[in-house]
Structure 1
Amino acid sequence: MCAIGLAIVTRQLVDLDFRMRFADSATRLMIAIPIFVALIHTNFVNFKTMRWALFAAIFLMLIFGYYHAVVAGDPRIRTEFTNTIPYSAFCLIFGVAFFICSYRLGGWDRVAAIIAIFGSYLALYLSQSRGVWVAGAVVSLFLLSSVFGFSRKKFFIFLFVLIAALVSAYFFSEVIRDRVVMAVSECHQFFMGQRHGSIGERLDMALVSYYIFKAYPLFGVGRDISPVLHMLHEQGLVIASVVNATDTHGELFFNAASLGVVGLLCYCAFYIGGSYPFWKAAFSQEPEAVALGKVGLASSMILFIVGFTHITLGLVMYASIYATFQGLLLSSLYKLQQMKASR
């Protein structure tokens, strides 16, 4: 988890650029280490007990997000401290995590799990965030497998149900239909040379990343990409609306542009290496470990998908909350393994 942060700090120091605000966000991932160390020495803090904080967070986020949307006259839920995308992404992560860990327990825990996932997907719907919608659709396969078990046959049934649900949502929800039509229209306009709108600017920033990566393939241009953006704009390669951007609006693209091949390797290490203990746990024989493994994989998948439409590890809020969440997950998994080893 720390590879990206270390790579950024090293890049800044090599450039003799001591503006560590460019490294602030990704280095927040390192707080997972002290959190992990602290939690493995406590007996009363684990994911099973702390999951109720996630339950509360889902509905607090939903209520306050809706309140701010009404006050601001915005059709999308929002807050004062961040935009809709990270807000809804974490609401989804919390809902999925609570559902996977609680549904299997039965009784009132199962009821709470259903309520939580309903609230989480309601917030997701109200966010109108297409990238998080995609993540929510994909991760729903985890939810179905948690309820009905997993096999190859069941996977294809789940996939069919998911596709049917998405098609139905498109035809019966005006909000979803409008957002999808808008995305398709903006993609078409982009390839026709009109690089405007939410999708157009994102695609333009992806092209920016390609241009920068091509020019600085090994170590990138550094996290301060503003001078390069102005240069590309003067060459007619970048539209004016993205010249003053602080990132290229996608985690993979930004790491490629700012850190080159090193950044891509660190990005892969973050997701592949960071997901390995959860992958291992998800295929273990211990039910609680399996649940924690699924939560870890699902949260990584959500962050990975959302990262293609919005900067994730490059934002302090994303990195701090995710590091805390991962520290709690990993410490709970570690304590389970220690208990099993001591039997």
Structure 2
Amino acid sequence: MIFAPSLIWLSTALLFFAPAVNLVWRGGTGYGFFGLVALSLGAAVANKRTPDYFKGLRTYNWYTLGMLAFLVAIMFQQLVMHYWLPRQFDALSRFTFALPLFLLLRQFPSRNLRAIGWGCAAGAIAVGAWALIAQPQGGWTDASRASNAYTNAIPFGDTALLLAFLSVFTLGWDGPRDWRMLAVKLLALVGGGYASYLSGSRGGWITIPIFAILLGCQFHWFVHKKRLWVAALAIVVCTAALLSTERVERRLEDATTDFSALHHGDENTSVGLRLQLWQASFRLFTEHPVYGVGKGKLERALGDLAAHGQARTEIVNERAHSDFFSTIAETGAIGAVCLLIFYFGLTVHFWRERRNQDPTIRAAAYSGLAVSFSTIVFGLTIDVLVPVMVTSLLALLSAAFLAVIDARKRELSHPAVR
């Protein structure tokens, strides 16, 4: 299928732009994302009579289902429960928009789609520089953790960490032996990692060993005994260095102190209040097991529990600080099934291609796995699927990495189309 060069290069520019500005320009990722969506919808209309254009939705059927499940379920829930809160469709609609975006991007040459990797690197470097330049007087502290004007420290640090590691995962298709590319990508790893470190987002730090294992599998660190020892030594040294820093040591000590206080009956701590919030959310699920209390109605439901003395007023919140507990409380068992379908659809096609011998496909597969695994892990302690800037980025990354796999497969099957 032939597209105008101007369309391809505009899309390439937007692929770079959207992740590059995610943490330094409010709304920037949204502008880039919807620019691409507008182009993709136009292309879909122009090719509505071309059956092969929509073939990707069937080929990657679990991805298609995963991107649609939540939106359909919430529409059905509001219809059954007779209420209308259109705001609840906002963030999750980004995943539905990822489908026409994927259909467009899969038609492009894979070399153009590699811009997404450089966009992640630019975003990680930009947020690292911003954290260094914009620090308040006295520096970033536990009382003033690194964040920006439009998000709090947790999604800020988690996203910075994801962009940092995606810079290295995508090095697999850029040629890791080129020292110039390696230098830029390693600078991105340091920049994004530094911003995450300053954010104190300890829940997101759980993904670091997962990222390390995925990188080891991608670059075959664990194949030979010598490489395994070198990789293990590097991981141990880096871990020891991080654990010895004052900020990491203090954040881990705070968590230990919270658990100790909880053990002695003091629930008025960060960990204690979060556990109570999860317990209250599970209680709501047991009382409304099928449809939940309604998407967007969690705060009111928690307020009702508090009014009847069944929960503390301190935990009344719009979200449960966990994708899982927010989902089961607001959308019940139907929502839990949709969440599992979403996670599976976001993972399975990348998992199947992780051992592909082509470095471009393998890099895209491991990049996609990094996105899916981090989404799952981050969602254990924060609502990942709520901030629009986060869902826009995740939808774009998943569509782009899957499109790289599909486009590269086509190029390998038909060398003339490269």
TM-score by length of 2: 0.75
Question: What one-letter code is carried by the residue in structure 2 that aligns with 1:226?
Answer: E
**8 A Cα contact 1:132 1:306, kept in partner:** yes
Deviation of the 1:322 alpha carbon:
0.8
Aligned-partner Cα distance in 1 for 2:125–2:192 = 8
Aligned-partner Cα distance in 2 for 1:155–1:269 = 35
Aligned CA RMSD, in angstroms, stands at: 2.4
State the partner residue of 1:100.
Answer: 169
Aligned-partner Cα distance in 2 for 1:160–1:203 = 36
Given the superposition, is the C-alpha separation of residues 166 and 335 from structure 1 closer, same or farther in structure 2, using an over 3 Å criterion? same
Aligned-partner Cα distance in 2 for 1:81–1:45 = 33
Deviation of the 1:40 alpha carbon:
2.4
Paired residue secondary structure (1:217): coil
Paired residue secondary structure (2:114): helix
Which one is further off, 39-48 or 103-112? 39-48
Deviation of the 1:157 alpha carbon:
8.0
State the partner residue of 1:230.
Answer: 303
Given the superposition, is the C-alpha separation of residues 175 and 117 from structure 1 closer, same or farther in structure 2, using an over 3 Å criterion? same
- Indicate whether 1:23 and 2:23 are aligned: no
Deviation of the 1:269 alpha carbon:
0.9
State the partner residue of 2:185.
Answer: 113
Paired residue secondary structure (1:2): helix
**8 A Cα contact 2:221 2:231, kept in partner:** no
Paired residue secondary structure (2:305): helix
State the partner residue of 2:127.
Answer: 61
Work out which of the two has the higher radius of gyration on C-alpha atoms and give 1 or 2: 2
TM-score by length of 1: 0.90
State the partner residue of 1:286.
Answer: 358
Which one is further off, 313-322 or 100-109? 100-109
Question: What one-letter code is carried by the residue in structure 2 that aligns with 1:79?
Answer: N
Given the superposition, is the C-alpha separation of residues 256 and 161 from structure 1 closer, same or farther in structure 2, using an over 3 Å criterion? farther
Deviation of the 1:169 alpha carbon:
3.0
1:162-203 residue CA offsets vs partner (Å, 9 max, x unmatched): 466435533x21111111111111123234432223222221
Aligned-partner Cα distance in 2 for 1:150–1:44 = 28
**8 A Cα contact 1:195 1:239, kept in partner:** no
**Which of 174, 183, 203 is the matching residue for 1:131?**
203
Which one is further off, 252-261 or 71-80? 71-80
**Which of 324, 344, 355 is the matching residue for 1:272?**
344
Given the superposition, is the C-alpha separation of residues 264 and 56 from structure 1 closer, same or farther in structure 2, using an over 3 Å criterion? same
Paired residue secondary structure (2:266): coil
**8 A Cα contact 1:46 1:332, kept in partner:** no
Which one is further off, 215-224 or 229-238? 229-238
**8 A Cα contact 2:131 2:146, kept in partner:** yes
Aligned-partner Cα distance in 1 for 2:252–2:304 = 34
Paired residue secondary structure (1:308): coil
Which residues of 2 match residues 1-343 of structure 1 at below 5 A?
1-43=67-109, 46-70=112-136, 74-75=140-141, 76-102=145-171, 104-107=175-178, 108-151=180-223, 162=235, 165-170=238-243, 172-223=244-295, 224-243=297-316, 245-343=317-415
Structure 1: runs of 5+ lacking an equivalent: none
Which one is further off, 11-20 or 233-242? 233-242
**8 A Cα contact 2:110 2:404, kept in partner:** no
State the partner residue of 2:53.
Answer: none
- Consecutive aligned runs of 4 or more in structure 1 exceeding 6 Å deviation: 152-157
Deviation of the 1:151 alpha carbon:
4.2
Deviation of the 1:74 alpha carbon:
4.3
Structure 2: runs of 5+ lacking an equivalent: 1-66
Deviation of the 1:49 alpha carbon:
2.7
Aligned-partner Cα distance in 1 for 2:372–2:391 = 12
1:206-239 residue CA offsets vs partner (Å, 9 max, x unmatched): 1112111111112211121122111211333322
Deviation of the 1:120 alpha carbon:
2.0
